[in-house]
Amino acid sequence: MKLLLKIWRQQNASSKGKFVDYPISGIEGDMSFLEMLDVLNQQLIDKGEEPVVFDHDCREGICGTCSLQINGEPHGPDRLITTCQLHMRMFKDGDTIVIEPFRAKAFPVIKDLMVDRSAFDRIQQAGGYISVNTSGNTVDANTIPIEKTKADDAFNAAACIGCGACVAACKNASAMLFTSAKVSQFALLPQGRVEATQRVLSMVRQMDLEGFGNCTNTGACEVECPKGISLENIARMNREYLMASVKG
Amino acid sequence: MGILDSKVPSGPLADKWTKHKNEINLVNPANKRNIDIIVVGTGLAGGAAAATLAELGYNVKTFCYQDSPRRAHSIAAQGGINAAKNYQGDGDSPYRLFYDTVKGGDYRSREANVYRLAEESVNIIDQCVAQGVPFAREYGGMLDNRSFGGVLVSRTFYAKGQTGQQLLLGAYSAMNRQINRGKIQAFNRHEMLDIVLVDGKARGIIARDMVTGEIERHGAHAVVLATGGYGNVFYLSTNAMGSNVTAAWRAHRRGAFFANPCFTQIHPTCIPVSGDHQSKLTLMSESLRNDGRIWVPRRLEDAKAIREGKLKPTQLKEEDRDYYLERRYPAFGNLVPRDVASRAAKERCDAGFGVNKTGEAVYLDFSAAIQRYGKEKALTSGLKDPDGETITRLGEEVVEAKYGNLFQMYEKIVDENPYKTPMMIYPAVHYTMGGLWVDYNLQTTIPGCYCAGEANFSDHGANRLGASALMQGLADGYFVLPYTIGDYLSKDIRTGKIATDTEAFDKAEADVRGRLQQLLNARGDKSVDYFHKKLGKIMWDKCGMSRNAEGLKEAIEEIAALRKEFYANVRIPGGMDEMNTELEKAFRVADFLELGELFAKDGLHRKESCGGHFREEYQTEDGEALRDDKNFKYVASWEYKGEPKDAVLHKEDLVFENIELKTRSYK
């Protein structure tokens, strides 16, 4: 396959970026998208140029490190996958592919395609936990039975990998899907109910402080989410938030 | 025992840990506030240790190369975590878990450590549930279990195929709680490049900020390394791209002994290599062997026809298939331990029965399970006389609920539907049982330098059983290290803050800068990946699933030559004082190039086959591993003396007081 890549290059957070064209050939359908970028980088290094910087680590769709806005979509054209799971067989010979970093005020560019998503960490630090000591003096795990459907819903919310595709997909750069997934996981479990009121208030407050936009119920986040996190979580968080605000 | 003192407490096996906890020194809460601890790595072991140490009152600094602690590679563990809860009432107990683990490790682990692990396993599940980890449950609301390789009970707790993710997010949330309280300072996108010793004690690290390139000094009263395994020495492995040995290797160069480097786990069920562009390998969880049956064609001509695309696996009749694991190991069948399953796959493929283009793949087939589950589901749904199609549909639904994400992952990579045609799998490097030598307290041979999780050597012997890595990481981090490190730190309550403007730090920083500059100065014409791939090929061909003296000797020579070429001819664009991803890789590969040689040296010296270490010269008539307890019942612990070839061997004899040494049999 021969392709034309249009890649965002930016030296650092304070410099101005621009698209640079890179024609590339010899790409096979079995390669992952990141392996295609590896091929490009190898060619750049061989020419003595600086390789394109992008975030990646596990390359099996679970760590949430990889990002990339590919032809305008977070994680590219396929559904329910991350960029590292996107394969080149999704593209045709002669295609032009536009590759940008995730765009959001709260995700400043570090270099080229790499962005700073530490805002997500700070939202979690604001309350995304159960305040239990970890030295092992808890009750037996089967003391509190949990309805299977609730446990499954909690798991489905907890499956979020924190990649930021929801923010990148949203026209308002809102982090509601991400935040609501964590709020939901704990709200659905009896262990998490104890601190539910304070948790949702703290996490939403931090989310707003980080400069994420508001939710206008478009649903692009759910479509682009590699883990299929459901919009129901946002509805649940809104409910939790309202109840918590009334309670104070 | 020489200079290696395992510090295993005296007394009966089952009482050792409790007795030890009662006898070691504690640090009072007011003094803990004056003590700093550095934790490098934020996976299950590091994240758990950091959270508990901070909760106890110590000041903790964590370091990880990822952009968030939540992304450490523990996140990719799929199948589950073992615990001797005996919720299924199938006769499980801490003793059985201990026994299975020692036997599974082919009698090359330390009894007391493994028993403690089995004992603490129970605690882990309670802890995680309290933290909100959403484990799989049964309809009655109780926790569900499944079975893993090498055992005869169901003791594995799981969260679909994402158990590692859920456990890591649990540890990460515990860390977040402490970050919010100001007790943990998290240094993300930071890489430890050296450990600093003051008067022979670990007193800090030199780290590089990967965004700015700045070299930083961090002082502490103790340093915990929880930096994972070194599987990436093979270039291709199931590890994350960034997983590396640098932190452990730098500690090794400063005096920490490296134990059993040749003990590597090659996991039997991974997606086969598709081409030269391959950057990493993807695991298909061992839990799939609960329901998948492994086979190759019985006849060579069928295998050939399949390879050439003239025949489909689904066209092959039952009697033309060779379910070789069920044939060779009737007692354990498809659930034999990983080392055994991997070797059996290699044996069939080497004999010409491989089923993909390269001849390096076997089938993992779910059709029988789909039918079985379909019939059961039809019955429980009240369907009388369901047709074949309905049974298949219902069966596929059950399989999807159990393994959905794995099947999806497979389909995306291979572009085939595993519900309709069997998966193709092949062994791949997955886990390293070897690592820094630690005593019972998890302390390395450098005082004040501790090592936890996969990075240490302690619990899995020569082969790790499935669902035991998560167990060890969390046990070390939550429940062992926070106790044992207190004993050491109790002597440090009057030390005061560790200053970093000292000669020791000056020298360590200068060393790091010198090494980085040396790499940049080479200005050669080959990329870092070029060398890493070459190293990987030597390792896979000569130190892989089966090894022999000749190949290992060649590997030692070839790796040493490659290392020389690397320093002369590596090309790294950019500079030191900026983000430089090639420089990061080069620093790691430089250390892999030393470790690889020690690995081969260790494999050459161990003239026996045990667990994942299979020496062709030492096998039984039917091709099983032949252990030599008389001469090799010890931990091979290597002391750094300059070049890897000069490393000095120290032996820790393994004493088995509670388990009789037997030939491991899964027949």
Residue B402 predicted with pLDDT over 90: no
Q: Tell me what the mean pLDDT of segment B493-520 comes to.
A: 98
User: What is this model's ipTM?
Assistant: 0.98
Q: Is the dihedral of CA B336, B341, B347, B349 positive or negative?
A: positive
Q: Say which CATH number the domain at B352 has.
A: 3.90.700.10
Same domain, B420 and B543: no
User: Is A196:A245 a contact under the CB 8 Å cutoff?
Assistant: no
> Does residue B284 lie in a domain region?
yes
Q: Tell me what the mean pLDDT of segment A141-156 comes to.
A: 97
Instruction: For chain A, give the longest Cα–Cα distance.
Output: 63
> Does residue B31 lie in a domain region?
no
List, for residues B244-297, the tens digit of each pLDDT value. Answer: 999 999 999 999 999 999 999 999 999 999 889 999 999 998 889 989 999 999
Same domain, B321 and B422: yes
Same domain, B424 and B279: yes
> Does residue B613 lie in a domain region?
yes
A176-187 and A196-209 are packed helices; what angle lies between their axes, rounded to 10 degrees? 170
> Does residue B391 lie in a domain region?
yes
Rounded Cα–Cα distance for residues B638 and B633 (Å): 16
Same domain, B286 and B388: yes
Residue B665 predicted with pLDDT over 90: no
List, for residues A111-131, the tens digit of each pLDDT value. Answer: 999 999 999 999 999 999 999
Task: Answer whether B582 sits within 8 Å of A51, measured CB to CB.
Answer: yes
Out of B71, B203, B321, B338, which one is annotated catalytic? B338
Same domain, B508 and B597: yes
Q: What is the pLDDT of residue B403?
A: 87
> Does residue B663 lie in a domain region?
no
Residue A248 predicted with pLDDT over 80: no
> Does residue B121 lie in a domain region?
no
How wide is the angle at C-alpha B538 spanned by C-alphas B533 and B544, nearest 5°? 110
Q: Tell me what the mean pLDDT of segment A176-196 comes to.
A: 98
Give the residue from B429, B459, B493 where a domain finishes: B429
Rounded Cα–Cα distance for residues B590 and B572 (Å): 13
Q: Tell me what the mean pLDDT of segment B529-551 comes to.
A: 97
Q: Which residues of A touch B132 (CB under 8 A)?
A: 129-130, 154, 185-186, 189, 191-192
Scanning every residue of chain B, which has its alpha carbon at the shortest distance from the alpha carbon of A130? B131
Residue B147 predicted with pLDDT over 90: no
Q: How confident is the model at residue B404 (pLDDT cuts 50, 70, 90)?
A: confident
Scanning every residue of chain B, which has its alpha carbon at the shortest distance from the alpha carbon of A109? B211
List, for residues B207-255, the tens digit of each pLDDT value. Answer: 999 999 999 999 999 999 999 999 999 999 999 999 999 999 999 999 9
Task: Write down the mean pLDDT value for chain B.
Answer: 96
List, for residues B346-392, the tens digit of each pLDDT value. Answer: 999 999 999 999 999 999 999 999 999 999 999 999 998 999 999 99
> Does residue B194 lie in a domain region?
no
B44-56 and B481-489 are packed helices; what angle lies between their axes, rounded to 10 degrees? 50
Q: Tell me what the mean pLDDT of segment B122-144 comes to.
A: 96
Give the residue from B377, B395, B429 where a domain finishes: B429
Min distance B123 CA to chain A CA atoms (Å): 6
Domains assigned to chain A: 3-111 (3.10.20.30), 118-247 (1.10.1060.10)
Instruction: Tell which residue, B442, B536, B544, has the closest CA to residue B485.
Output: B442
Q: Say which CATH number the domain at B577 has.
A: 1.20.58.100
Q: Judge whether B33 counts as a catalytic residue.
A: no
Min distance B132 CA to chain A CA atoms (Å): 6
- Domain count along chain B: 2
Q: Is the dihedral of CA A226, B276, B239, B619 positive or negative?
A: positive
Facing B527 at nearest CB: one of A45, A58, A87? A45
Q: What is the pLDDT of residue B2?
A: 53
User: Is B462:B266 a contact under the CB 8 Å cutoff?
Assistant: no
Rounded Cα–Cα distance for residues B310 and B455 (Å): 46
Same domain, B517 and B417: no
Task: Answer whether A134 sits within 8 Å of B165, measured CB to CB.
Answer: no
Rounded Cα–Cα distance for residues A134 and A76 (Å): 40
Task: Answer whether A38 sits within 8 Å of B76, measured CB to CB.
Answer: no
Same domain, B425 and B507: no
Give the residue from B429, B446, B463 where a domain finishes: B429
Same domain, B294 and B409: yes
Q: Which residues of B touch A80 (CB under 8 A)?
A: 408
Q: What is the pLDDT of residue B667?
A: 86
Instruction: Tell which residue, B246, B210, B236, B229, has the closest CA to residue B66.
Output: B210
Task: Answer whether A130 sits within 8 Å of B579, measured CB to CB.
Answer: no
- Residues 6+ away with beta carbon under 8 Å from B626: B608, B609, B618, B619, B620
Same domain, B396 and B520: no
Min distance B548 CA to chain A CA atoms (Å): 32
Percent of chain B at pLDDT > 70 equals 100
Same domain, B422 and B555: no
User: Is B486:B58 a contact under the CB 8 Å cutoff?
Assistant: no
- Taking residue B594's Cβ as centre, other Cβ atoms within 10 Å add up to 21
Residue B1 predicted with pLDDT over 50: no
Same domain, B417 and B531: no
Same domain, B291 and B407: yes
Write out residues 564-583 of B within 8 Å (CB-CB) of A. 571, 573-574, 578-579, 581-582
> Does residue B198 lie in a domain region?
no
User: Which domain does B338 fall in, by range?
Assistant: 268-429
**Secondary structure class of B25 (helix, strand, coil):** coil
User: Is B280:B429 a contact under the CB 8 Å cutoff?
Assistant: no
User: Is A159:B165 a contact under the CB 8 Å cutoff?
Assistant: yes
- Taking residue A56's Cβ as centre, other Cβ atoms within 10 Å add up to 25
List, for residues B422-476, the tens digit of each pLDDT value. Answer: 999 999 999 999 999 999 999 999 999 999 999 999 899 999 999 999 999 999 9
Between the alpha carbon of residue B272 and those of residues B79, B345, B361, B362, B621, the distances in Å are 19, 12, 6, 9, 29
